[in-house]
Amino acid sequence: PLPPPQLRPIRRRNAEETHVTVPEFLPHSADELAEVAAAAGVTIETARQRAVKLAETNPMLGHRGCRLAVTYPEICRMQATAIFEAACAVAQKTGHAPIPEIMVPLAATAKEIALCKAEIDTAATAVMAATGITILYLVGTMVELPRASICAADLAVEAEFFSFGTNDLTQTSLGISRDDASSFLHDYADKDIYPVDPFVSIDLEGVGTLVEMGVERGRITRPDIKLGICGEHGGDADSILFFEKVGLDYVSCSPYRVPAARLAAAQATIKSRHS
């Protein structure tokens, strides 16, 4: 079921202002738990039991991303509804309809994308019928698992664009936690195992190969597929040069790295044209 009417303006405002509508964080403190319980209209004990049930040992590889949408499709539908309501509101105010690009996260199979896409299409149809406004949109996926790169030809049947999430793709490829790597990566650099931090500059032989594989295989199925990367590698000059070489269309990075990324992207383009 959709959320109660009193929550819908908040949900829509989230989509309009932040473009982030993913309920990913559980309450930890007693105050947070009480606040969530009050907002949901349940007892604190009910909220606590739910939080305990949802807690995981390894949440990075747990019940998140599109897996959450598979088990709770109403969440995907709710998020998509918020996106399309926000897009229609913008179109009404400005006269120009935005084109949302909705990304299915943590997908390893085409079926996961197809299930999410069905919910997204259902939401789009309902909102456009209610508003009388037509919104064009794309549905793609975040490539952040090795299997997604290996099976990119299959994923591209459903996905209209790929965004390579190289932060998580590095973690899942190397089996290294980004949050814990600082305790040993400097020793790896000293011993020339990873001369450069693979979370700063992309590991060309491993993660880079997976990116290139995903690009090539995705374009076999969908030659015009839009391809890019998001993550800290999007602000690294050497990584950007590699992304230009393998044919990505764009890079995305943290705001403070945008000036350096733009310069590196321009330099990479010039180099590729003269090589």
Q: What is the pLDDT of residues 201-246, one digit of tens each?
A: 999 999 999 999 999 999 999 999 999 999 889 999 999 999 999 9
Q: What pLDDT does 1 receive?
A: 40
What pLDDT, on the 0 to 100 scale, is given for residue 271? 82
Q: Using N-to-C axis directions, what is the helix angle for 44-54 and 30-40, rounded to 10°? A: 110
Domains and CATH numbers, the chain: 5-274 (3.20.20.60)
Do 115 and 108 contact (CB within 8 A), yes or no? no
Residues 6+ apart with CB under 8 A from 91: 97, 98, 133, 135
36: left (phi over 0), alpha (psi -120 to 50) or beta: alpha
Radius of gyration of the chain (CA): 21
Residue 192, pLDDT > 80, answer yes
Strands (E), the chain: 101-104, 138-143, 161-165, 226-230, 250-252
**% the chain with pLDDT above 90:** 67
Give dist(CA 129, CA 98) in Å, integer: 17
Taking all residues of the chain, what is their mean pLDDT, rounded to a whole number? 89
pLDDT digits (tens, 9 = 90+) for 243-252: 999 999 999 9
